[in-house]
Amino acid sequence: MDKRGKGILACLAIAVPAWLLGKLFPVVGGAVIAILMGMVITLFWKEKGAAGPGIQWTSKVVLQAAVVFLGFGLDLHAVAATGKQSLPIILSTITTSLVLSYALHRLLVIPTKISTLVGVGSSICGGSAIAAAAPAIQADDEEVAQAISVIFFFNVLAAILFPILGTALGFSTVSGEGFGIFAGTAVNDTSSVTAAAATWDSMWNLGTATLDKAVTVKLTRTLAIIPITLGLSVYYGKKGTAAGQKFQVKKAVPVFVLYFILASLVTTLALQVGVGASVFAPLKTLSKFLIVMAMAAIGPNSNIVKLIRTGGKPLLLGGCCWLGITAVSLALQKTMGLW
């Protein structure tokens, strides 16, 4: 904790005013405000020094903790129903992203490993999917960093623009179901899924209805890491580029997903024995604050200027995957009567 303390306190210092401003300006939301504040601060605070480890820890562990806390208050039956409801959209968006990334890799002559990482990151769960896939294809640190930067760029755009887009398209403002499924299937990373969903809840005073839906859909989508990583391990193993790499399920599946399910199980059992849902309300509030704090850590980790200067083709690839996923998600929701 001593090594991370400065970074954690820095994120907390951003998160508290962002949380309060989010209350004053719910149309923007604390999560988006925290991202933007962090991005502005990092323009002047280029060398993080001793704060670096704490910022990195907050962006990963605090976000995962937020998702786990969100699991409290979710009935496992509702989680399963949501996963089943969104499965056709999830499978279609994943296929869309992977096909587009392969086609543009050939058309634009983008390096294979970068296009693979961007395609996987766009289709499943951003940085987590990239981290799981990288060892399978033996991607180096620079390739991983560039892929994550591309995903992050479109994550920030989604967190800011999707609530505006949702309003323009006429998503229900009395139920978080439609926008929650949209955010859960069309936004790349868990961080921006939660940011967009939390903003929608703030805009229309929906509590955590949208957030519950979006996170459940997103975590269902995250399970696709297992077959995708296994497939890449086999493919690159046959090519001889991943010699010595062994596929392990425990490394492919983020542990926080299992904790989220466990938290939902606790809630399900508690509700069945007569415990009121209001008991879990403080944990949901804590979850929303931790999301803002995680966003405060993600902003300082960005270098948008460098990405735009050096990553033209990967950015174009990421943009096409993002737009393709968004279009397919909206079209299927319309077809299925969810929007």
Instruction: Tell me which DSSP letter residue 311 carries.
Output: -
Q: What is the pLDDT, as a whole number, of residue 163?
A: 94
- 3-state DSSP of 256-288: HHHHHHHHHHHHHHHHHCCCCHHHHHHHHHHHH
Sign of CA dihedral 31, 33, 36, 41: negative
Instruction: Tell me which DSSP letter residue 47 carries.
Output: -
Return the structure tokens found at 258.
Answer: 């299992």
Q: Distances from the Cα of 130 to the Cαs of 105, 145, 161, 322, in angstroms?
A: 17, 10, 24, 15
47 Cβ contact list (under 8 Å, min separation 6): none
Of the candidates 122, 96, 105, the residue with the CA atom closest to the CA atom of residue 319: 122
Helix (H) or strand (E) holding 300: none
pLDDT tens sequence across 158-202? 888 999 999 999 999 998 899 999 999 999 877 788 889 988 998
54 Cβ contact list (under 8 Å, min separation 6): 3, 4, 5, 6, 7, 8, 9, 10, 11
| Rounded Cα gap, residues 36 and 24, in angstroms | 16
- Residue reference for tokens 């989680």: 79
Other Cβ atoms closer than 10 A to 310: 12
Other Cβ atoms closer than 10 A to 75: 17
- Residue reference for tokens 């799981």: 132
Of the candidates 210, 213, 106, the residue with the CA atom closest to the CA atom of residue 167: 210
The whole-model pTM stands at: 0.70
Other Cβ atoms closer than 10 A to 44: 6
State the Cα angle at 95 between 94 and 96, rounded to 5°: 90
Which regions of the chain are under pLDDT 70? 1-2, 26-28, 73, 128, 131, 141-142, 145, 237-254, 301-311
C-beta of residue 79 within 8 angstroms of C-beta of residue 261: yes
Return the structure tokens found at 216.
Answer: 């459940």
